[in-house]
Structure 1
Amino acid sequence: MESDVNATLSELERKLKELERELETVGRGGEADTEPAQAGWDAPAEPPAGAFTASWHGTSGGASATPPPPPPAFNGAPPIPVTPPPTPWPPAVGGATHAPPPPPAHSTPPQPGLHAQLDELLAFRDRLVATTDDLVAELSRVLTELGVDAPPPHDPADTVLTGPVIVEAGPFPDLSTLQQFEQALMRVPGVAGVHVRTLDAGRATTDVHLASPVALGAALRATAPVAFAVTHAGDGRLVLALAG
């Protein structure tokens, strides 16, 4: 009995010491764990002569290292060549790129129906012109058979003027003819005043004041020293072209 108790106590004391050693190992930061690991690790052997040795950038005193060989192909496949994009033409000037020209505009072809309508309108115009000519010819024939003459065209000299009138006449061959023309204006009934304003290149501009309405062109033909034709009469203006 006593021997069993002593054996149990000895066993308990041994376990307590083991626990104490483990606690001390934990308190020293795990030195008990690293030592067994280091005990089983073998240092690497020295590299053979001529083997590749890595060097740090910035070290002085050493020769330039030989660049490493290109990396091997992935999974044994050959490298894939990369083709650069083509250079645009024409090349950009000053960094500006040229936009591609716009596509040509496609004009809408004329529709066949429009040509048919245009031809129909042209044919209708021709028929209308022909019908009008036939009507005019028939009317002229009827008037001729009835003995009715067409009215004479209106003579601008018969236009009645009143108040201040500007008379433009010419060309006058000399000053004597101009003076005779001025006196002929003064002799027209209803004329209150005559004043020659300008004379340029044989054409005279004369201010005439009428005291009463009068057909100045027709009345002047009876007193003028030279024949003339009335080219315009109205709006306070009378234009005469003297016979050469």
Structure 2
Amino acid sequence: MSTTLLFRDDAYLREAEAVVLAHTPEGGIVLDATIFYATAGGQPGDNGWLIWPGARLPIATAVKVEGGLIALVPAEASALPPVGSQVLQRLDWQRRHRHMRVHTALHLLSVVIPLPVTGGQIGADKGRLDFLMPEPPTDVAALNIALNLLIERDLPVTDTWISDDELLANPGLVKTMSVSPPMGQGRIRLVRIGQGDAQIDLQPCGGTHVARTAEIGRVEIGRIENKGKQNRRVNLLLVD
């Protein structure tokens, strides 16, 4: 049995009921279904609360555990909901939504800087991508304009699924050099920005995203750091 990933079907789901399947040795709470994204791919795990009769437990983060399960990690030492009981999950929605905005903005950053990606990280106020980029960009202002114009086009952000074999036949879909998409489970999720002739990006991704690019708001490229002879780290900030 694995944890059903409710956030995969609806990233805007802020609360949902679930049944407690188990407690981990470290004190995590495993549910049969969850709206909490578990730390992976540079995106932090969600936080929020678990609520059941007579109790309200703050959740610090969510992590993957063995067997395709997700465990919610309490923010403080407290009694855990009993195995088999029903609980209400509630996200810290403001933080999650900012992660969604930053994550989609980073996909757009990989469009305006079409170079191989060597790493990345998502935060609530900013994110970054590391690029195989021997020399820094010469016109950051032009990149900022191009990035914000893509956001303003209000393009739809959707997903689809392909098989392992289909991904192997289309290696150009993978932009990240440091992390390969998880294979061996039969299918791989692709996140698409734009549709038809207006499609501007399509790449494997398991994270959460906004539904349309305009929801990101205005962004700004921050510091560009030298991270080795061939690498540059491009920081991206949410402005509003």
- Specify the TM-score bucket, using the shorter chain as the normaliser: under 0.3
**Structure holding more strand per residue:** 2
TM-score, length-scaled by structure 2:
0.23
Higher RCO, 1 vs 2 (CA within 8 Å, ≥6 residues apart): 2
Structure showing greater Rg = 1
**Structure holding more helix per residue:** 1
